[in-house]
A and B are shown apart, each in its own frame.
Chain A
Amino acid sequence: MSEQPVSEADLQAYADGKLPEERRAAVAAWLAAHPEDAERIESYRQLAAELRSSYDSVLDEPVPERLERALRAGRVRHLAMVAGWVAIGLVIGAIAGWQLHGARPALAPGADAADSMAHRAVVAHATYSPEVRHPVEVGADQEAHLVAWLSKRLGTQLRAPKLEAVGYSLVGGRLLPGDNGPVAHFMYQCNRGTRVTLYVRADMGSNRSTAFRYAREGTVGVFYWVDSKVGYAVSSADISKEDLLNVANAAYQQLNPP
């Protein structure tokens, strides 16, 4: 009969009562033969019990009103965001092209900057995604170099999100001129050849964030958002809004972790 050696992880699990039933006896037997460790593990148990008894009283304290209010305030803000999202979608859908062409310089804070970014992202997508021979400047085989280079040019640490889970892999990226400065452009492709591009600019101005928004110009749909000074836009033509949302969500989760 082969006995598994008792590991430190086993001892921790024993102290926490998390050891599987069948392993417990073996560890207990081992501890019986190692009194110093037994004492140590016992003191861990005691510490855990003391910890719980010290802080469990917090569970019974009345919850300060400001905390429940945080959720209520949050809810109002959330609803407002959804409403804004729908409204902006309608407005953009209705006025589309010419309005965005006359976009003001992106230095101006507010929705204009984000919308202007979305428009430029759509144009960039339409320009580069049909490109067969030169879709990117630097290919995914040099991903580390690509990300380091674009990060340096944009003056902020960028990341190329991993979108394999939603069916897209990185083709590569390029540097683009934006409204006020350099923009990073990443291209992804699924195995059917559909392309999605991620447009990133780091000069959105003061510390502001926007909700997720959607716009569509011609055949190109775009989800875009701003997280402090960095703006992101995920564009694609020829895939449904739901599929694009799925991709954009995957990118968003990695770029703006909860």
Chain B
Amino acid sequence: MNEAKRLVELIPRLRRYARALVGDRATADDLVQDTLERAWAKLHLYRRGTDLRAWLFTVMHNVHVNRVRAARATDTLEDEMPELAQRAPQGDALLVRDLDRAIGRLPAEQRAVLLLVTLEEMSYDEVARTLGIPIGTVMSRLSRARDKLRLMMQGQGAAAKLKVVK
């Protein structure tokens, strides 16, 4: 089966997106694993000849939304905070860590749009189809995500320097 091979080839891209989406490696790979299992079980719904990558990212998006919803149901804390706390440092570079934190602080729906556009380099149209939202919404979320990220990174520049001194 050809799709199986393609799915395997797409795993690294799923992992990259998941890592940026949820932060730490283990949680990201859990998300990828759930996605692959679901995609495989639902492969009969994939229409041959259409974009398998977009379909797979749709599956991942839905799995992610369900996971977040389930986590939230058992967790009465405010939305953003628990996730932030879980986001572990990516590497040594302060920049990566700050960027990662800042991304984690974006509202989930803006984060997804930003990451599909920048990491996956999807067209706005593909993003709209993948997330099941109108293209106008893609554009406004992208714009807001970038605005926020830019402000946070400017703010964090100062914070990072303080950390270095300490």
Ordered by A's residue number, 18 sampled pairs between the chains whose C-beta atoms are within 8 Å are A9-B139, A40-B150, A47-B150, A47-B153, A51-B115, A51-B119, A54-B20, A54-B99, A55-B19, A60-B12, A63-B11, A66-B29, A70-B37, A71-B8, A212-B44, A253-B45, A257-B62, A258-B58
Across-interface contacts of A71 in B (CB, < 8 A): 4, 7-8, 36, 40
Known contacts A51-B119, A249-B45: A56-B16 contact under CB 8 Å: yes
Known contacts A52-B118, A59-B12, A252-B45: A67-B139 contact under CB 8 Å: no
Extra pairs beyond A54-B99, A56-B16 (11, CB < 8 Å): A8-B139, A18-B124, A44-B150, A48-B117, A51-B115, A54-B90, A54-B95, A59-B16, A71-B4, A73-B37, A81-B41
Pick the residue among A15, A40, A57, A67 that contacts B32 (CB under 8 A): A67
Would you give the shortest CB distance from B148 to chain A, in whole angstroms? 11
Interface pair B153/A74, CB less than 8 Å apart? no
**In the bound complex, CA of A70 to CA of B15 (Å):** 14
Q: Which of A13, A15, A74, A249 gathers the greatest number of chain B CB atoms within 10 Å?
A: A74
Known contacts A12-B146, A66-B29, A74-B37: A50-B95 contact under CB 8 Å: yes
B88 at interface by CB-CB < 8 Å: no
Known contacts A58-B12, A59-B13, A61-B15: A258-B29 contact under CB 8 Å: no
Would you give the shortest CB distance from B34 to chain A, in whole angstroms? 8
Would you give the shortest CB distance from A109 to chain B, in whole angstroms? 19
Interface pair B55/A258, CB less than 8 Å apart? yes
Looking at chain A's contact residues, the main secondary structure is: helix
Interface pair B40/A258, CB less than 8 Å apart? no
Would you give the shortest CB distance from A80 to chain B, in whole angstroms? 11
Q: Using a CB-CB cutoff of 8 Å, which residues 86-103 of chain B contact chain A? A: 90-91, 93, 95-96, 99-100, 103
Pick the residue among B12, B19, B91, B123 that contacts A18 (CB under 8 A): B123
Q: Using a CB-CB cutoff of 8 Å, which residues 30-63 of chain B contact chain A? A: 32-33, 36-46, 55, 58-59, 62
Chain A contacts to B: CB under 8 angstroms: 8-9, 12-13, 15-16, 18, 40, 43-44, 47-48, 50-52, 54-61, 63-64, 66-68, 70-71, 73-75, 77-78, 81, 212, 249, 252-253, 257-258
Would you give the shortest CB distance from A258 to chain B, in whole angstroms? 5
In the A-B complex, the 4 residue pairs with the smallest Cβ-Cβ separation, listed nearest first, are: A74-B40, A58-B16, A70-B36, A48-B118
Interface pair B38/A258, CB less than 8 Å apart? yes
Instruction: Give B13's nearest chain A residue, CB to CB.
Output: A59
Interface pair B119/A78, CB less than 8 Å apart? no
Would you give the shortest CB distance from B93 to chain A, in whole angstroms? 8
Across-interface contacts of A13 in B (CB, < 8 A): 124
Across-interface contacts of B142 in A (CB, < 8 A): 12
Known contacts A55-B19, A68-B8, A252-B45: A12-B139 contact under CB 8 Å: yes
**In the bound complex, CA of A15 to CA of B149 (Å):** 15
**In the bound complex, CA of A8 to CA of B139 (Å):** 8
Across-interface contacts of B19 in A (CB, < 8 A): 55, 58
Would you give the shortest CB distance from A210 to chain B, in whole angstroms? 11
Interface pair A47/B139, CB less than 8 Å apart? no
Instruction: Give A10's nearest chain B residue, CB to CB.
Output: B139
Interface pair A67/B41, CB less than 8 Å apart? no
Across-interface contacts of A15 in B (CB, < 8 A): 146
**In the bound complex, CA of A54 to CA of B114 (Å):** 14
Across-interface contacts of A74 in B (CB, < 8 A): 36-37, 40-41
**In the bound complex, CA of A43 to CA of B148 (Å):** 12
Would you give the shortest CB distance from A27 to chain B, in whole angstroms? 15
Would you give the shortest CB distance from B16 to chain A, in whole angstroms? 4
Interface pair B42/A258, CB less than 8 Å apart? yes
Interface pair A51/B118, CB less than 8 Å apart? yes
Interface pair A68/B40, CB less than 8 Å apart? no
**In the bound complex, CA of A253 to CA of B132 (Å):** 14
Interface pair A78/B20, CB less than 8 Å apart? no
Across-interface contacts of B38 in A (CB, < 8 A): 258
